[in-house]
């Protein structure tokens, strides 16, 4: 008889079968229950301690779940689901977890009856296809050029958030920002890249009502020599660089042996001439402002300030890209490759302002900015962090409407309609997949039920009344 072959370590434990299915379902339901009370307009905020010891006060599903330190693989995949929803759609991170938890909950009964998981997956996939078809049928087209309609849509998104108490403010900021950075690609396609070209700058102090979308960009930098360089320039000519304005240092440790004393002064003179040559190549284009992502030596600073040019160094690459989009400049890698077309002339004003204890540079009043900064003011950092999370959701919703201008009813009405249609269709499905298909239809009722529970409403009476209205309206639609 052959000796048993050990593949796994002795310390490892392997589980399989229905025990694992139940464990996965329970873990997923536990994650859903954590954020169930944060769904809807009457939802509650959660207060969490993050890894750094700071406080997070939010009702954003993804923000809550990413602070959880979980060990169960199924629970981790639920958090990954929320993160994916946040990246792709930007909103609905709580709804997707509640719905996934309910889908697994209704599947538990079929695991008891020894249904194979692949049968359940086939039925769920069929329900998904039919649900998307229902959504396409009940969706209404939206005019993205009508600001009042867009404002109502974005307000309905942030109506469940902390910032809903501030009225139209966040919705206005989101619409202004997405309108600014939108680029027409032709054939009716419009690209809105809010991740790259919309920067949210949080500055504690002042009131939330002081927040606004700049017609340009701002960044947390001051000029290199404040006393010698101008801090306010009207209609500036801007040159953007991606190279250092200082003498090149050897990558490895370099030793130079000098035999004569004069050779030392020759070396210094060579460095000075190299930097002077760099500066002269820039200055022949008569710029008012030079911004580089790398270092800028004292000697280069001297030549630039002597010519009346302001300079900013060590700017982030992302900020430099935004400035290029806002003022029409091109980022240049080497000064000797500069051309007149690379100079940005689209900005109306460059100004350095002191807000609180820090200096901020503003490049604003741009002619046709395709990048912008949203300046958020508020009493505390915790408040500003929550406002930023809400603003990101609103920006994502505004972007989604521009890309695909269709609207379905909210408040759980769409989920109830999908549920009612799937229940009707389940009677025409043959075979063993009929019952899981109907269970998926029932699972959609979790969203309106949770919304009602969070509002403190009698759930059974409300759901019965809503289902009656949905059936009546369905006959009219379908």
> What residues are annotated to the active site?
60, 93-94, 393
DSSP 131-148: HHHHHHHH-EE--TT-HH
The residue among 360, 340, 353, 337 whose CA lies nearest residue 237 is 340
Question: What's the order of all strands across the beta sheet hosting 238-241?
Answer: 310-312, 289-292, 238-241, 331-332
- Extended strands (E) in 144-283: 183-186, 189-191, 198-204, 212-213, 217-219, 232-234, 238-241
End-to-end Cα distance, the chain: 68
DSSP 6: P
Residue 283 · residue 233 · CB < 8 Å: no
Q: Rounded CA gap, 441 and 431, in Å?
A: 17
Structure tokens at 140: 């209404």
- DSSP label of 260: S
Classify residue 296 by its DSSP letter.
B
Tell which residue, 331, 335, 334, has the closest CA to residue 323: 331
CB neighbour list of residue 332: distance below 8 Å, 6 or more residues apart: 239, 240, 241, 242, 243, 338, 342
* CA-closest candidate to residue 400, choices 116, 49, 118, 150: 150
Of 328, 296, 342, the closest CA to residue 315 belongs to 296
CB 135 within 8 A of CB 414: yes
Q: What is the full DSSP assignment across 221-236?
A: ---SSTTTS-SEEES-
Q: What is the CA radius of gyration of the chain?
A: 30
Q: How far apart are CA 447 and CA 465, in angstroms?
A: 16
């Amino acid at each position: 008889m052959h000796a048993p072959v050990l593949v796994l370590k002795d310390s490892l434990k392997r589980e399989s079968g229905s025990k694992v299915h139940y464990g996965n379902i329970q873990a997923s339901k536990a994650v859903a229950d954590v954020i169930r009370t944060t769904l809807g307009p009457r939802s509650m905020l959660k207060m969490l301690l993050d890894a750094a010891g700071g406080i997070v006060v939010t009702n954003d599903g993804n923000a809550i779940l990413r602070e959880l330190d979980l060990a169960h693989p199924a629970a981790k995949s639920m958090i990954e689901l929320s993160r994916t929803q946040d990246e792709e759609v930007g909103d609905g991170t709580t709804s997707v977890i509640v719905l996934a938890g309910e889908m697994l909950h209704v599947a538990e009964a079929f695991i008891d009856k020894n249904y194979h998981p692949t049968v359940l997956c086939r039925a769920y996939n069929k329900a998904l296809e039919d649900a998307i078809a229902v959504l396409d049928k009940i969706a209404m087209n939206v005019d993205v050029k009508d600001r009042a309609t867009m404002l109502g849509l974005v307000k309905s998104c942030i109506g469940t958030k902390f910032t809903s108490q501030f009225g139209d403010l966040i919705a206005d900021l989101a619409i202004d920002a997405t309108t600014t950075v939108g680029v027409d690609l032709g054939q009716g396609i419009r690209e809105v890249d809010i991740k790259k070209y919309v920067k949210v700058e949080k500055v504690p102090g002042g009131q939330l009502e002081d927040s606004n979308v700049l017609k340009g960009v701002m960044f947390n930098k001051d000029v290199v020599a404040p006393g010698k360089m101008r801090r306010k320039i009207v209609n500036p000519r801007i040159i953007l660089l991606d190279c250092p304005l200082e003498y090149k240092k050897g990558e490895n440790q370099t030793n130079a042996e000098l035999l004569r004393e004069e050779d030392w002064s020759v070396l210094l003179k060579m460095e000075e001439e190299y930097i002077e040559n760099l500066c002269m190549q820039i200055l022949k284009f008569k710029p008012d402002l030079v911004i580089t992502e790398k270092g800028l030596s004292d000697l280069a600073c001297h030549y630039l300030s002597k010519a009346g040019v302001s300079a900013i160094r060590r700017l982030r690459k992302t900020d430099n890209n935004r400035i290029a989009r806002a003022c029409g400049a091109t980022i240049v890698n080497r000064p000797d490759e500069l051309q007149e077309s690379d100079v940005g002339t689209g900005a109306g004003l460059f100004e350095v302002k002191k807000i609180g204890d820090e200096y901020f540079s503003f490049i604003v009043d741009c002619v046709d900015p395709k990048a912008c900064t949203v300046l958020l003011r508020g009493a505390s950092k915790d408040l500003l962090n929550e406002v930023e999370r809400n603003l990101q959701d609103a920006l994502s919703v505004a972007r989604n409407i521009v890309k695909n201008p269709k609207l379905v009813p909210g408040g759980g009405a769409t989920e109830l309609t999908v549920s009612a249609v799937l229940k009707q269709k389940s009677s025409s499905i043959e075979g063993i997949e009929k019952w899981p298909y109907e269970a998926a239809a029932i699972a959609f009722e979790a969203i309106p039920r949770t919304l009602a529970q969070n509002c403190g409403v009698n759930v059974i009476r409300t759901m019965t009344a809503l289902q009656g209205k949905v059936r009546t309206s369905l006959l009219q639609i379908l």
